[in-house]
């Protein structure tokens, strides 16, 4: 009986040790400047966030949360907060960092129908044609949502309607499956024509 008790105690100790090892990275992150910065952004604490970014040599504008891989930019896009999106981009936030699921801020914005956010992210250097782990681009996401204005914008800004996801289907394929009445294919074609016009008028006049 005593041997069994000792064995059980060892198992408990080992189990607690394993839990501690798993928890330690998260606990350790809570003490870092990057974590504190992301928390300030999530809390809409502009004073703290600005003070931290004003510190010489800081490197946490693009810090990522350990559990999710999200940056502060992900956080403000999720809440459709254009003021904070502008602020972070102006302070050097990189819009081309994905979370652990391969989701970029522009993909989040497209999924949310946050068209002003998409426009500002593109202006800040976001790649229009990024894809998630399933190969879904922001344009494919907008097509699934039948978000006509978003579709036009993304195509106009260089989103490729013929780029396939992991299933082998493109934004144009999905639009065709929806039929003419949906207006989705028309939105893609309108975006393409606006893109062509923009390219033709580019340059000195």
Whole-number Å distance between alpha carbons of 99 and 64: 8
Name 92's Cβ contacts closer than 8 Å, sequence gap at least 6: 61, 62
Q: Model's pTM, two decimal places? A: 0.80
Interhelix angle for 138-145 vs 148-156, to 10°? 160
In the chain the domains, ranked by start, together with CATH numbers, are 12-127 (1.25.40.20), 137-198 (1.25.40.20)
pLDDT, residue 59, reads: 85
| Rounded-to-10 torsion of CA 106, 112, 113, 116 | -50
pLDDT given at position 32? 86
Q: Phi first, then psi: give them for residue 158, nearest 5 degrees.
A: 110, 5
- Spell out the per-residue pLDDT of the chain, length 205, in tens: 554 554 555 554 445 455 444 445 544 455 688 999 999 999 999 999 999 999 998 888 999 999 999 999 999 999 999 999 999 999 999 999 999 999 999 999 999 999 999 999 999 999 999 999 999 999 999 999 999 999 999 999 999 999 999 999 999 999 999 998 899 999 999 999 987 766 655 555 4
> Counting runs of H as helices and runs of E as strands, what totals does the chain give?
11, 0
């Amino acid at each position: 009986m005593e041997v069994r008790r000792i064995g059980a105690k060892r198992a408990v100790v080992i189990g607690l040790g394993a839990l501690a090892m798993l928890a330690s990275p998260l606990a350790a992150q809570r003490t870092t400047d990057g974590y504190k910065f992301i928390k300030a952004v999530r809390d809409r604490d502009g004073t703290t966030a600005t003070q931290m970014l004003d510190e010489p040599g800081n490197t946490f504008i693009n810090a990522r949360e350990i559990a999710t891989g999200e940056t502060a930019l992900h956080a403000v896009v999720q809440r459709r907060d254009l003021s904070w999106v502008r602020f972070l981009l102006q302070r050097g936030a990189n819009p081309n960092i994905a979370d652990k699921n391969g989701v970029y801020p522009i993909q989040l914005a497209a999924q949310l129908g946050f068209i002003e956010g998409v426009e500002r992210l593109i202006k800040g250097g976001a790649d229009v044609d990024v894809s998630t782990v399933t190969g879904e681009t922001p344009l494919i996401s907008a097509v699934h949502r039948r978000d006509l204005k978003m579709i036009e914008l993304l195509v106009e800004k260089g989103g490729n309607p013929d780029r396939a996801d992991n299933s082998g289907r493109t934004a144009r394929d999905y639009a065709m499956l929806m039929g003419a009445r949906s207006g989705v294919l028309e939105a893609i074609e309108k975006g393409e024509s606006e893109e062509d016009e923009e390219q033709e008028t580019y340059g000195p006049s």
